[in-house]
Protein backbone atom coordinates (compact mmCIF):
# COMPACT_ATOMS: atom_id res chain seq x y z
CA UNK A 1 0.00 0.00 0.00
CA UNK A 2 1.25 3.47 -0.91
CA UNK A 3 0.00 6.88 0.22
CA UNK A 4 -1.61 7.45 -3.20
CA UNK A 5 -3.83 4.36 -3.03
CA UNK A 6 -4.37 4.34 0.75
CA UNK A 7 -7.73 6.07 0.27
CA UNK A 8 -8.96 3.32 -2.07
CA UNK A 9 -7.94 0.67 0.47
CA UNK A 10 -9.68 2.60 3.26
CA UNK A 11 -12.95 2.75 1.33
CA UNK A 12 -12.71 -0.99 0.65
CA UNK A 13 -12.13 -1.75 4.33
CA UNK A 14 -15.04 0.47 5.37
CA UNK A 15 -17.28 -1.59 3.07
CA UNK A 16 -15.98 -4.77 4.72
CA UNK A 17 -16.37 -3.39 8.24
CA UNK A 18 -19.86 -2.05 7.56
CA UNK A 19 -21.00 -5.41 6.20
CA UNK A 20 -19.19 -7.18 9.05
CA UNK A 21 -21.75 -5.73 11.47
CA UNK A 22 -24.42 -7.49 9.42
CA UNK A 23 -22.35 -10.69 9.38
CA UNK A 24 -21.90 -10.64 13.15
CA UNK A 25 -25.63 -10.14 13.68
CA UNK A 26 -26.28 -13.30 11.64
CA UNK A 27 -23.59 -15.25 13.53
CA UNK A 28 -24.66 -14.31 17.08
CA UNK A 29 -28.24 -15.26 16.23
CA UNK A 30 -27.05 -18.74 15.19
CA UNK A 31 -24.17 -19.51 17.59
CA UNK A 32 -23.35 -18.77 21.22
CA UNK A 33 -21.94 -15.24 20.90
CA UNK A 34 -18.81 -15.39 23.08
CA UNK A 35 -17.77 -18.86 21.89
CA UNK A 36 -18.20 -17.81 18.28
CA UNK A 37 -16.30 -14.57 18.89
CA UNK A 38 -13.35 -16.33 20.53
CA UNK A 39 -12.95 -18.66 17.54
CA UNK A 40 -13.39 -15.81 15.06
CA UNK A 41 -10.73 -13.69 16.78
CA UNK A 42 -8.39 -16.70 17.05
CA UNK A 43 -8.75 -17.28 13.31
CA UNK A 44 -8.10 -13.60 12.58
CA UNK A 45 -4.98 -13.60 14.78
CA UNK A 46 -3.67 -16.66 12.97
CA UNK A 47 -4.22 -14.84 9.66
CA UNK A 48 -2.24 -11.78 10.78
CA UNK A 49 0.70 -13.80 12.11
CA UNK A 50 0.68 -16.07 9.05
CA UNK A 51 0.93 -13.07 6.73
CA UNK A 52 3.90 -11.77 8.73
CA UNK A 53 5.53 -15.20 8.67
CA UNK A 54 5.12 -15.42 4.88
CA UNK A 55 6.81 -12.03 4.64
CA UNK A 56 9.63 -13.49 6.76
CA UNK A 57 9.18 -10.86 9.46
CA UNK A 58 9.76 -11.27 13.18
CA UNK A 59 6.53 -12.43 14.79
CA UNK A 60 7.58 -13.37 18.34
CA UNK A 61 7.20 -10.56 20.89
CA UNK A 62 9.90 -9.90 23.47
CA UNK A 63 9.26 -10.82 27.10
CA UNK A 64 8.95 -7.15 28.11
CA UNK A 65 6.25 -6.63 25.48
CA UNK A 66 3.97 -9.37 26.82
CA UNK A 67 2.58 -7.19 29.61
CA UNK A 68 1.84 -4.39 27.11
CA UNK A 69 0.03 -6.82 24.81
CA UNK A 70 -2.03 -8.25 27.66
CA UNK A 71 -3.04 -4.82 29.00
CA UNK A 72 -4.15 -3.43 25.62
CA UNK A 73 -5.77 -6.77 24.79
CA UNK A 74 -8.13 -6.48 27.78
CA UNK A 75 -9.77 -3.45 26.15
CA UNK A 76 -9.08 -3.87 22.41
CA UNK A 77 -10.07 -7.52 22.10
CA UNK A 78 -11.65 -8.95 25.25
CA UNK A 79 -13.74 -5.97 26.35
CA UNK A 80 -14.66 -4.66 22.90
CA UNK A 81 -15.60 -7.98 21.33
CA UNK A 82 -17.34 -9.34 24.44
CA UNK A 83 -19.65 -6.34 24.68
CA UNK A 84 -20.13 -6.33 20.91
CA UNK A 85 -21.17 -9.99 20.71
CA UNK A 86 -23.51 -9.75 23.72
CA UNK A 87 -24.95 -6.44 22.55
CA UNK A 88 -25.80 -7.72 19.10
CA UNK A 89 -28.10 -10.30 20.69
CA UNK A 90 -30.23 -7.49 22.10
CA UNK A 91 -30.28 -4.80 19.41
CA UNK A 92 -30.35 -4.34 15.66
CA UNK A 93 -27.42 -4.23 13.25
CA UNK A 94 -28.50 -0.70 12.27
CA UNK A 95 -28.20 0.56 15.84
CA UNK A 96 -24.93 -1.31 16.33
CA UNK A 97 -23.30 0.29 13.30
CA UNK A 98 -24.46 3.75 14.30
CA UNK A 99 -23.38 3.53 17.94
CA UNK A 100 -19.96 2.17 16.95
CA UNK A 101 -19.62 5.28 14.81
CA UNK A 102 -19.02 7.14 18.06
CA UNK A 103 -15.58 5.52 18.48
CA UNK A 104 -13.55 8.42 16.95
CA UNK A 105 -15.27 10.88 19.30
CA UNK A 106 -14.75 8.62 22.33
CA UNK A 107 -11.10 8.25 21.31
CA UNK A 108 -10.75 12.04 21.24
CA UNK A 109 -12.27 12.27 24.74
CA UNK A 110 -9.93 9.55 26.03
CA UNK A 111 -6.97 11.38 24.47
CA UNK A 112 -7.94 14.57 26.32
CA UNK A 113 -8.21 12.68 29.62
CA UNK A 114 -5.20 10.36 29.40
CA UNK A 115 -2.88 12.03 26.89
CA UNK A 116 -3.64 15.65 27.85
CA UNK A 117 -4.63 16.38 24.25
CA UNK A 118 -5.95 19.86 23.55
CA UNK A 119 -9.73 20.24 23.64
CA UNK A 120 -10.66 22.91 21.11
CA UNK A 121 -14.06 24.55 20.87
CA UNK A 122 -14.72 22.73 17.59
CA UNK A 123 -13.89 19.38 19.19
CA UNK A 124 -16.16 20.12 22.16
CA UNK A 125 -19.08 21.06 19.91
CA UNK A 126 -18.45 17.96 17.77
CA UNK A 127 -18.49 15.73 20.86
CA UNK A 128 -21.83 17.17 22.00
CA UNK A 129 -23.35 16.76 18.53
CA UNK A 130 -22.06 13.19 18.26
CA UNK A 131 -23.56 12.17 21.60
CA UNK A 132 -26.84 13.80 20.61
CA UNK A 133 -26.83 11.62 17.51
CA UNK A 134 -26.23 8.44 19.53
CA UNK A 135 -29.04 9.44 21.91
CA UNK A 136 -31.42 9.71 18.95
CA UNK A 137 -30.29 6.32 17.63
CA UNK A 138 -30.72 4.60 21.00
CA UNK A 139 -34.06 6.31 21.63
CA UNK A 140 -35.38 5.19 18.24
CA UNK A 141 -34.59 1.58 19.19
CA UNK A 142 -35.72 -1.17 16.86
CA UNK A 143 -39.31 -0.01 16.52
CA UNK A 144 -39.07 3.72 15.96
CA UNK A 145 -40.59 4.44 19.39
CA UNK A 146 -38.83 6.21 22.27
CA UNK A 147 -37.05 3.31 23.98
CA UNK A 148 -33.52 2.12 24.67
CA UNK A 149 -32.73 -1.53 23.99
CA UNK A 150 -30.57 -3.34 26.54
CA UNK A 151 -28.20 -4.34 23.76
CA UNK A 152 -27.54 -0.68 22.92
CA UNK A 153 -25.77 -0.17 26.26
CA UNK A 154 -23.48 -3.14 25.58
CA UNK A 155 -22.65 -1.74 22.14
CA UNK A 156 -21.86 1.62 23.73
CA UNK A 157 -19.48 -0.16 26.14
CA UNK A 158 -17.90 -1.90 23.14
CA UNK A 159 -17.20 1.53 21.64
CA UNK A 160 -15.81 2.86 24.94
CA UNK A 161 -13.40 -0.05 25.45
CA UNK A 162 -12.19 0.21 21.85
CA UNK A 163 -11.51 3.93 22.28
CA UNK A 164 -9.57 3.34 25.49
CA UNK A 165 -7.46 0.71 23.74
CA UNK A 166 -6.50 3.15 20.99
CA UNK A 167 -5.24 5.62 23.58
CA UNK A 168 -3.34 2.86 25.40
CA UNK A 169 -1.61 1.91 22.13
CA UNK A 170 -0.55 5.54 21.77
CA UNK A 171 0.38 6.05 25.44
CA UNK A 172 2.35 2.86 26.08
CA UNK A 173 5.44 3.13 23.94
CA UNK A 174 6.72 -0.15 22.52
CA UNK A 175 9.17 -1.11 19.82
CA UNK A 176 6.88 -3.93 18.78
CA UNK A 177 5.65 -3.87 15.17
CA UNK A 178 1.97 -2.81 15.15
CA UNK A 179 1.01 -5.87 13.09
CA UNK A 180 2.76 -8.20 15.55
CA UNK A 181 1.00 -6.37 18.38
CA UNK A 182 -2.36 -6.81 16.62
CA UNK A 183 -1.81 -10.51 15.89
CA UNK A 184 -0.80 -11.47 19.43
CA UNK A 185 -3.54 -9.35 20.99
CA UNK A 186 -6.01 -11.41 18.98
CA UNK A 187 -4.45 -14.70 20.02
CA UNK A 188 -4.34 -13.82 23.73
CA UNK A 189 -7.77 -12.21 23.54
CA UNK A 190 -9.29 -15.29 21.92
CA UNK A 191 -7.96 -17.47 24.73
CA UNK A 192 -9.42 -15.18 27.42
CA UNK A 193 -12.76 -14.98 25.60
CA UNK A 194 -12.70 -18.77 25.41
CA UNK A 195 -12.39 -18.95 29.20
CA UNK A 196 -15.29 -16.48 29.56
CA UNK A 197 -17.39 -18.62 27.22
CA UNK A 198 -16.68 -21.80 29.20
CA UNK A 199 -17.76 -20.03 32.40
CA UNK A 200 -20.87 -18.29 31.04
CA UNK A 201 -22.05 -20.39 28.09
CA UNK A 202 -22.36 -24.08 28.99
CA UNK A 203 -22.20 -25.98 25.72
CA UNK A 204 -21.38 -22.78 23.84
CA UNK A 205 -18.75 -24.37 21.62
CA UNK A 206 -21.11 -27.19 20.67
CA UNK A 207 -23.36 -24.64 18.96
CA UNK A 208 -20.53 -23.94 16.50
CA UNK A 209 -21.16 -27.38 14.98
CA UNK A 210 -24.85 -26.82 14.27
CA UNK A 211 -24.72 -24.09 11.60
CA UNK A 212 -25.58 -24.20 7.92
CA UNK A 213 -22.85 -24.00 5.28
CA UNK A 214 -23.48 -20.30 4.65
CA UNK A 215 -22.89 -19.56 8.35
CA UNK A 216 -19.35 -20.88 8.05
CA UNK A 217 -18.76 -18.87 4.87
CA UNK A 218 -19.84 -15.75 6.78
CA UNK A 219 -17.69 -16.76 9.78
CA UNK A 220 -14.45 -17.19 7.82
CA UNK A 221 -15.11 -14.12 5.66
CA UNK A 222 -15.54 -12.05 8.82
CA UNK A 223 -12.41 -13.49 10.43
CA UNK A 224 -10.13 -13.32 7.37
CA UNK A 225 -11.25 -10.18 5.56
CA UNK A 226 -12.85 -7.83 8.09
CA UNK A 227 -10.96 -8.67 11.28
CA UNK A 228 -7.60 -10.05 10.13
CA UNK A 229 -6.68 -8.29 6.89
CA UNK A 230 -8.90 -5.29 7.66
CA UNK A 231 -7.05 -4.29 10.81
CA UNK A 232 -3.69 -4.66 9.08
CA UNK A 233 -4.76 -2.38 6.23
CA UNK A 234 -6.34 0.22 8.53
CA UNK A 235 -3.28 0.38 10.80
CA UNK A 236 -1.05 0.81 7.76
CA UNK A 237 -3.31 3.58 6.44
CA UNK A 238 -2.95 5.45 9.74
CA UNK A 239 0.81 5.27 9.31
CA UNK A 240 0.60 6.65 5.76
CA UNK A 241 -2.03 9.41 5.96
CA UNK A 242 -2.46 9.99 9.70
CA UNK A 243 -5.15 9.15 12.27
CA UNK A 244 -7.30 12.24 11.69
CA UNK A 245 -7.90 11.63 7.99
CA UNK A 246 -8.28 7.89 8.56
CA UNK A 247 -10.94 8.51 11.22
CA UNK A 248 -13.09 10.43 8.73
CA UNK A 249 -13.52 7.24 6.71
CA UNK A 250 -15.35 5.60 9.61
CA UNK A 251 -18.39 7.58 8.47
CA UNK A 252 -18.50 5.29 5.43
CA UNK A 253 -18.55 2.37 7.85
CA UNK A 254 -21.82 3.77 9.25
CA UNK A 255 -23.33 4.12 5.79
CA UNK A 256 -22.48 0.58 4.69
CA UNK A 257 -23.63 -1.01 7.96
CA UNK A 258 -27.02 0.73 7.73
CA UNK A 259 -27.42 -0.10 4.04
CA UNK A 260 -26.35 -3.71 4.57
CA UNK A 261 -28.68 -4.23 7.52
CA UNK A 262 -31.62 -2.78 5.60
CA UNK A 263 -31.00 -4.68 2.36
CA UNK A 264 -29.63 -8.00 3.64
CA UNK A 265 -31.44 -8.40 6.96
CA UNK A 266 -34.57 -6.44 6.13
CA UNK A 267 -34.19 -4.25 9.22
CA UNK A 268 -36.26 -1.05 9.11
CA UNK A 269 -34.52 2.30 9.26
CA UNK A 270 -36.44 4.97 11.20
CA UNK A 271 -36.36 8.74 10.99
CA UNK A 272 -34.67 9.00 14.40
CA UNK A 273 -31.86 6.73 13.22
CA UNK A 274 -31.37 8.77 10.04
CA UNK A 275 -31.22 11.98 12.07
CA UNK A 276 -28.83 10.31 14.48
CA UNK A 277 -26.63 9.22 11.58
CA UNK A 278 -26.37 12.81 10.32
CA UNK A 279 -25.46 14.11 13.79
CA UNK A 280 -22.88 11.35 14.37
CA UNK A 281 -21.17 12.10 11.04
CA UNK A 282 -21.06 15.81 11.88
CA UNK A 283 -19.86 14.99 15.37
CA UNK A 284 -17.05 12.73 14.13
CA UNK A 285 -15.81 15.39 11.72
CA UNK A 286 -15.62 17.97 14.50
CA UNK A 287 -15.04 15.89 17.61
CA UNK A 288 -12.28 13.65 16.24
CA UNK A 289 -10.13 16.66 15.39
CA UNK A 290 -10.32 16.04 11.64
CA UNK A 291 -11.64 19.52 10.84
CA UNK A 292 -9.07 21.12 13.15
CA UNK A 293 -6.38 19.15 11.34
CA UNK A 294 -7.60 20.32 7.93
CA UNK A 295 -7.80 23.96 9.04
CA UNK A 296 -4.26 23.84 10.47
CA UNK A 297 -2.93 22.20 7.31
CA UNK A 298 -4.56 24.82 5.06
CA UNK A 299 -3.15 27.66 7.17
CA UNK A 300 0.31 26.09 7.02
CA UNK A 301 0.00 25.74 3.22
CA UNK A 302 -1.01 29.42 2.86
CA UNK A 303 1.93 30.57 4.99
CA UNK A 304 4.31 28.45 2.95
175-201 confidence digits (pLDDT tens): 777 788 889 999 999 999 999 999 999
pTM of structure: 0.84
Contact (Cβ atoms closer than 8 angstroms) between residue 238 and residue 272: no
What pLDDT does 148 receive?
A: 67
Q: Would you place residue 38 in the very low, low, confident or very high pLDDT band (cuts 50, 70, 90)?
A: very high
pLDDT digits (tens, 9 = 90+) for 48-84: 999 889 988 878 887 878 888 899 899 989 999 999 9
What pLDDT does 37 receive?
A: 95
Those residues with Cβ within 8 angstroms of residue 7's Cβ, 6 or more apart along the chain or in another chain: 241, 249
Those residues with Cβ within 8 angstroms of residue 292's Cβ, 6 or more apart along the chain or in another chain: 120, 122, 123, 244
Check pLDDT > 80 for residue 291.
no
Q: Would you place residue 207 in the very low, low, confident or very high pLDDT band (cuts 50, 70, 90)?
A: very high
- Separation CA 120–CA 45 (nearest Å): 37
- Separation CA 294–CA 304 (nearest Å): 15
Q: Spell out the long-range contacts of 68-72 with Cβ–Cβ below 8 A and sequence spacing 24 or more.
A: 68/172, 68/174, 68/176, 68/181, 69/176, 69/181, 69/184, 69/185, 69/188, 70/188, 71/168, 71/172, 72/165, 72/168, 72/169, 72/172, 72/181, 72/185
Mean pLDDT over each residue of the chain, to the nearest integer: 84
Detail the DSSP E strand segments found in the chain: none
Q: Would you place residue 40 in the very low, low, confident or very high pLDDT band (cuts 50, 70, 90)?
A: very high
Which has more pLDDT, 100 or 7?
Answer: 100
pLDDT digits (tens, 9 = 90+) for 116-146: 878 888 888 888 988 888 888 877 655 555 5
What pLDDT does 168 receive?
A: 84
Check pLDDT > 70 for residue 9.
yes
pLDDT digits (tens, 9 = 90+) for 208-264: 999 999 999 999 999 999 988 887 887 777 666 665 566 667 777 888 888 899 899
- Separation CA 200–CA 195 (nearest Å): 9
Amino acid sequence: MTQSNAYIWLVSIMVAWGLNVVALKVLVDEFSPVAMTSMRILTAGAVVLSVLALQKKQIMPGVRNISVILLINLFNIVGHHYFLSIGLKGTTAVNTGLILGLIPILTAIAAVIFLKARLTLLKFVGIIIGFAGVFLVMAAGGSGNIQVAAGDWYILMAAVTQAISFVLIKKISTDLNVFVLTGWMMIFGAVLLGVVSLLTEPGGYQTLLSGESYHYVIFFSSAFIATGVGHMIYNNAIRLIGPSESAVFTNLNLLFSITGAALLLGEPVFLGQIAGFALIVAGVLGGSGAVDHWIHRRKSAVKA
